């Protein structure tokens, strides 16, 4: 009775209705840090300009034990929320809010240490933390 | 004319496909509370012509300050005084239950020698990679 187009339409509407109580949010800060870009840096030879060409300008510069330390940051966070009260909007004049939500965030940090003559010495990149996931269960 | 249009309307109502389409449209319109594209900027952009005015070994502290104003930070590291200028750009795309906020930062670091003359300049432009995105999944 209802064709393929109709079935797809019904499924689409049902999916939209079921998702309406959901909320998916993501915040991304800066570009991902790529360990491959460090391979071009040679200790004692690569200059500040070489580092900037490979990695861009750092987010922070600090005084290290034997020279400067450049710090780069990349952040990624995901938040999901489900409003179980949304379904009651169909039955009640006022939809109560019954939310369950969870957010996960990861910060990736790269340190680049320089020698006193402002050439590249070494870098430290943290092992990538678990990629954040979308999930609503907070317990 | 009136009768003709009324007949057409009732004919459409008798057609289950048309009814389904209309119902889907109504549900979609109800669900589509709207969408949003929001942009936030903090700090002034760094025009290329102004960056070109900074010359290593020639430009002094005062001239840098005349071009870019007072720095956001002054860092002391490895015998250098470093002026730090920063700028942030953020773009939020939001549609129904999906949203993504991308944030990027530009950093200008100007290194001075003890005589107050520019020793090195590092500039990174990451805000040019910041796009409006809605889909929070994937990369």
Closest residue in chain B to residue A4, using alpha carbons only:
B17
> Would you call B101 and A24 a contact, using CB atoms and an 8 Å cutoff?
no
B126: nearest CA in chain A? A30
Among A24, A27, A30, beta carbon nearest to B98: A24
> Within a domain: residue A8?
no
Q: Does any domain span residue A61? A: yes
In a domain, A11, yes or no: no
DSSP H or E run through A60: strand A60-63
Let me know if residue A60 belongs to a domain: yes
Cβ distance of A114 and B137 shorter than 8 Å:
no
Please give the average per-residue pLDDT across A2-23, as a whole number. Answer: 72
Q: Is residue A23 part of a domain?
A: yes
**Cross-chain residue pair B124–A13, CB shorter than 8 Å:** no
**Lowest-pLDDT choice from A12-16, B9-13, B133-137:** B9-13
Q: Could you tell me how far CA A59 lies from the centroid of its own chain?
A: 17
The answer to whether position A137 is within a domain reads no
- At A69, list the tokens: 């330390």
Model confidence at B14: pLDDT above 70: no
Are the C-beta atoms of B85 and B54 separated by less than 8 Å? no
Tell me how far apart the alpha carbons of residues B117 and A96 are, in angstroms, rounded to a whole number: 64
**A64 Cβ partners below 8 Å, 6+ apart?**
A113, A114, B77
Q: Inter-axis angle of helices A4-19 and B16-31, to 10 degrees?
A: 20
- DSSP letter assigned to residue A38: G
Number of domains in chain A: 1
* Helix (H) or strand (E) run with residue A105 in it: strand A99-114
CB neighbour list of residue B104: distance below 8 Å, 6 or more residues apart: A29, A30, A31, B88, B89, B90, B126, B127, B128, B129, B130
Q: Which domain holds residue A31?
A: 18-126
- Predicted confidence at residue B3, as pLDDT, reads 45
Say what the pLDDT of residue B132 is: 95
Q: Tell me how crowded residue A50 is: count the other CB atoms within 10 A of its CB.
A: 15
Rounded-to-integer distance, Cα B104 and Cα A31, Å = 8
pLDDT, tens digit (0-9, with 9 covering 90-100), for A40-83: 999 999 999 999 999 999 999 999 888 899 999 999 999 999 88
What does the block give as tokens for A20? 């309406």
Whether residues A28 and B103 touch (CB distance < 8 A) is answered with yes
Does residue A136 lie within any of the structural domains? no
* A108 in any annotated domain: yes
pLDDT of residue A65: 84
Strand pairing report for B80-95 and B98-112: antiparallel
Reply yes or no on whether the pLDDT at A27 is more than 90. yes
Q: Which residue of A has its CA nearest to B87?
A: A59
């Amino acid at each position: 009775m209802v064709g393929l187009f109709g079935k797809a339409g019904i499924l689409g509407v049902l999916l939209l209705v079921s998702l309406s109580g959901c909320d998916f949010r993501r915040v991304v800060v800066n570009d991902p840090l790529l360990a491959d870009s460090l391979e071009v840096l040679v200790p004692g030879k690569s200059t500040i300009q070489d580092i900037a060409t490979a990695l861009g300008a750092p987010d922070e510069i600090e005084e290290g034990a034997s020279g400067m330390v450049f710090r780069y940051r990349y952040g990624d966070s995901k938040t999901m929320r489900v409003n179980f009260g949304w379904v009651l909007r169909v039955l009640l004049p006022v939809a109560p809010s019954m939310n369950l939500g969870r957010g996960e965030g990861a910060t990736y940090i790269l340190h680049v240490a320089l020698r006193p003559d402002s050439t590249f010495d070494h870098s430290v990149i943290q092992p990538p933390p678990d990629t954040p996931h979308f999930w609503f269960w907070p317990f | 004319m009136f009768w003709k249009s009324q007949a057409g309307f009732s004919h459409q109502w008798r057609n289950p496909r048309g009814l389904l389409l209309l119902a889907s449209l109504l549900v979609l319109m109800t669900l589509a509370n709207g969408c949003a594209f929001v942009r936030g900027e903090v700090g002034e952009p760094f025009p290329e012509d102004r960056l070109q005015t900074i010359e290593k070994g020639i430009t002094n502290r005062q001239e840098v300050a005349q071009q870019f104003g007072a720095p956001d930070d002054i860092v002391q590291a490895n015998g250098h005084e470093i002026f730090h200028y920063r700028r942030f750009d953020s773009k939020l795309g939001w549609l129904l239950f999906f949203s993504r906020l991308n944030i990027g930062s530009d950093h200008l670091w100007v290194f001075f020698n003890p005589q107050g003359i520019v020793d090195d300049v590092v500039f990174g432009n990451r805000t040019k990679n910041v796009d409006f995105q809605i889909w929070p999944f994937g990369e």
